[in-house]
Chain A
Amino acid sequence: MTDKIILLVEDNPDDVDLTLRALKKANVLNEVVVAHDGAEALDFFKGTGPFAERDSNVLPSVVLLDLKLPKVDGLEVLRRIRADERTKFVPVVILTSSREEKDLINGYSLGANSYIRKPVDFIQFSDAVRQLGLYWLLLNEPPPKKGEI
Chain B
Amino acid sequence: MEAFGAAVAVAMSLMLLQMGREERGGNVSRIAIAFLAMGILDAFHATSRPGHGFVLLHSTAVLAGGFWFASIWLPRGVSEVVNRRWFAWAVAGSAVGFGIYTPLFRETLPLMVQGGRFTTFALVMNSLGGVLFLAGVLRIATDSGYFNETGLSAFAFVGVLLGIAGITFGMSAIWDMTWWFWHLLRLSAFVVVLGFVFGRFQRVSLSLMSTVESLKLKEEELRRHRDHLEELVEERSAEIRKTNELLEEEITERTAAEEAIKKLNEDLAHHAAELEAANKELEAFAYSVSHDLRAPLRSIDGFSQVLTEDYSKKLDDQGRDYLSRVRAATQRMGQLIDDMLQLSRVTRAEMKHEEVSLSALAKSVAAELQQTDPDRDVDFVIASGLTATGDKQLLRVVLVNLLGNSWKFTSKHTTARIEFGAAEQDGNRAFFVRDDGAGFDPTYAGKLFTPFQRLHQTTEFPGTGVGLALVQRVVSRHGGRVWAEGAVEKGATFYFTL
A binds B: yes
Q: Are the CB atoms of B298 and A98 closer together than 8 Å?
A: no
A15 at the interface (CB under 8 A from B): yes
Partner of B334 from the list A15, A120, A123, A126 (CB cut-off 8 Å) is A120
Check B294 for interface membership: any CB of A closer than 8 A.
yes
**Could you tell me the distance between the alpha carbons of A123 and B303 in the complex, rounded to whole angstroms?**
11
- Give the number of residue pairs across the A-B interface with Cβ within 8 Å: 59
Residues from chain B with Cβ under 8 Å of A14 in the complex: 295-296, 298-299, 302-303
CB distance from A75 to the nearest CB of B (A): 13
A3 touches B (CB below 8 Å): no
Max count, chain B CB within 10 A of own CB: residue among A18, A96, A97, A125: A97
Please judge, given known A-B contacts A97-B291, A100-B290, whether A15 and B306 are in contact too, CB under 8 Å: no
Q: How many residues of A contact B (CB 8 A)?
A: 19
In the complex, what's the smallest C-beta–C-beta distance from A128 to chain B, in angstroms? 12
The answer to whether A123 touches B297, judged by C-beta atoms less than 8 angstroms apart, is no
Chain B residues within 8 Å of chain A by Cβ, number: 22
Q: How far is the CA of A28 from the CA of B439 in the complex (A)?
A: 51
CB of B302 within 8 A of CB of A125, answer yes
* B287 adjacent to A120 (CB under 8 Å): no
A100 to B305, CA, bound (A): 27
Given the complex of chains A and B, what is the CA–CA distance between A144 and B330 in angstroms? Answer: 43
Are A118 and B299 CB-contacts (below 8 A) given A21-B306, A98-B287, A100-B287? no
User: Across the interface, do A120 and B331 meet the contact criterion of CB distance under 8 Å?
Assistant: yes
CB contacts under 8 Å to B, within A81-131, are: 96-100, 118-123, 125-126
Please measure, in the bound complex, the distance between the C-alpha atom of A68 and the C-alpha atom of B301, giving whole angstroms: 21
A15 touches B295 (CB 8 A): yes
Task: Determine if A12 is an interface residue (Cβ-Cβ < 8 Å).
Answer: yes
> Are A121 and B334 in contact, CB atoms less than 8 angstroms apart?
yes
Contact B330 A120 (CB under 8 A): yes
Chain A minimum-CB-distance residue to B287: A100
In the complex, chain A residues whose CB is within 8 Å of the CB of B331: 120-121
Q: Encode B286-328 as 1/0 by CB contact (under 8 A) with A.
A: 0100111011111101111110000000000000000000010
With both beta carbons as reference points, the residue of chain B lying nearest to A11 in the complex is identified as B295
Give complex CA distance A33, B422 in Å.
Answer: 59
- Report whether B298 and A122 are in contact in the complex, using a CB–CB cutoff of 8 Å: yes
A120-B330, A120-B331, A121-B331 known; A99 vs B302 contact (CB < 8 Å)? no
Task: Encode A8-22 as 1/0 by CB contact (under 8 A) with B.
Answer: 000010110010010
A97 touches B295 (CB 8 A): yes
Chain A nearest CB, measured from B132 CB (Å): 133
Binding site for A on B (CB under 8 A): 287, 290-292, 294-299, 301-306, 327, 330-331, 333-334, 341
In the assembled complex, 22 residue pairs joining A and B whose CB atoms fall closer than 8 Å, in A order, are A14-B295, A14-B296, A14-B298, A14-B299, A15-B295, A18-B298, A18-B302, A21-B306, A97-B294, A97-B298, A100-B287, A119-B298, A119-B334, A120-B294, A120-B298, A120-B334, A121-B301, A121-B331, A122-B298, A122-B306, A122-B327, A123-B305
